Amino acid sequence: MTHWPKGATPIDGPSPWSYQETMSDASTILTEMNDRSREVFRRVVESYLNSGDPVGSRTLTRTMSEKLSAATIRNTMQDLEFLGLLDSPHVSAGRIPTQLGLRMFVDGLMEVGTIDDQDRAKIESSMDRDDGNVTSLLDQVGAALSGITRSASLVLAPKQETAIKHIEFVSLSPDRALVVLVYADGHVENRLFTPPPGQTPSSMREAANFLNAIAEGHRLSELRPLIAAEIARHRQEIDSLARDLVENGLALWENAGERGERLMVRGQANLIEAGGESLNLDRIRTLFDDLERKRDIADFLEMTDTGEGVRIFIGSENKLFSLSGSTLVVSPYMNADRKIIGAVGVIGPTRLNYGRIVPIVDYTAQLVGRMVSERGKG
């Protein structure tokens, strides 16, 4: 089932209709359309989604289930245009679906297939290289999803609320080091940072030992006041280099502790390849800016908060990227307690193969949820 988003507008630009009225009108239009109008509308949309080109009446004469003249089909298309379901990009061109038309097609006429074995295998294989790092694993899933759908993928990683088990510093060069955070649930996170000058293997070991004596059993968000208090209490006992390293890392850990969910984006280049007329370069640039800033990540998760199932946001319904003329297909994933903790999705031009992409996104979300739940038990 396709869900309608909160506060969406049915067509680009200002509209005198309320959201509920538009939803009701679309439902009424579909109910009252005769079989001929439904078939003409469905075939126009399917042809457009397949080719990206405006669909002419002569093209439809070869595919309709009943034999109709081009003039009859043209009249029916004009009626559909009057209802706001079709539009003509040029005076002499064929018709393409409007945003309202796509919405009605997705909600009432779209046939959703099942994920095929090849796509299923690619998604599953993306989880084979498991190094214990959930973020890395989700990034691999996003890359696979992007490759399969030929769109950009969005994966929202869950907020890390788990207690710390172990902290370790690894020197990479005089001005580069790695802090390894091991969580109680087995999740491992690596963060690069610039250490204070003069660090030695001995000072790094001492700093790690000092932190591990405090950190175990606490969440990152709890560490800053604890560490500051311990440094003040034992300032004379801690080697100055080790103390500098600990204090230098406080800002790094503070950001880590306060971070919320993280949005990972893969496959932006696919948007350029798929752009065409439906997603021109200016709109692609706008979308890239939005993706780069990764704003409103909380909104991304909120868009899935009504429960299970894939949701489709078309054009201006997509409040995260409303100016880009794009479509977002998104599904939440849950932990073992059936709590929504993240989401996976695909973003691309409105001319997406919805019937194929919906089951792919749905399956990926279920697989990610299962993987996260199993880790939570470990």
**Count of CA atoms in the C-beta half-sphere (13 A) of 141:** 31
Beta-bridge mates of residue 189: 181
- What are the structural domain ranges in the chain? 19-109, 117-159+261-377, 164-258
Query: Where in 16-98 does DSSP place strands (E)?
Result: 86-87, 96-97
| Cα separation values, 186 from 33, 225, 235, Å | 56, 25, 32
pLDDT at 12: 34
Q: Where are the alpha helices (DSSP H) in 320-377?
A: 354-377
pLDDT at 199: 81
Task: For helices 240-258 and 201-215, give the axis angle rounded to 10 degrees.
Answer: 50
pLDDT at 229: 78
Answer whether 249's CB lies under 8 Å from 179's CB. yes
Name residues of the chain where pLDDT drops below 70: 1-27, 91-92, 130-132, 159-161, 221, 234-262, 272-308, 319-324, 375-378
Residue 374, SS3 per DSSP:
helix
**Count of CA atoms in the C-beta half-sphere (13 A) of 86:** 30
d(CA 304, CA 211): 38
Q: Which fold has domain 164-258?
A: Enolase-like; domain 1 (3.30.390)
| Helix, strand and coil in the chain, % to nearest 5 | 50, 15, 30
| Cα separation values, 169 from 134, 178, 236, 240, 359, Å | 20, 6, 22, 16, 43
* Choices 3.30.450.40, 3.10.180.10, 3.50.50.60, 3.30.300.130: CATH for 117-159+261-377: 3.30.450.40
Q: What is the largest CA-CA distance in the chain?
A: 93
For residues 306, 307, 312, 314, the Cα torsion angle rounded to the nearest 10 degrees is: 10
Angle at 239 between CA 238 and CA 243, to 5 degrees: 70
User: Would you give the DSSP letter of residue 277?
Assistant: G
pLDDT at 360: 95
Task: For helices 134-149 and 117-125, give the axis angle rounded to 10 degrees.
Answer: 150
Kindly state the tokens that stand for 334. 């849950």
> Which class for 269: exposed (0-12), middle (13-18), buried (19 or more C-beta within 10 A)?
exposed
pLDDT at 258: 38
Length of the chain (residues):
378
Domains 117-159+261-377 and 164-258 share a fold: no
Kindly state the tokens that stand for 163. 């207690």
* Choices 1.10.3720.10, 3.40.50.1100, 3.30.9.40, 1.10.10.10: CATH for 19-109: 1.10.10.10
pLDDT at 256: 44
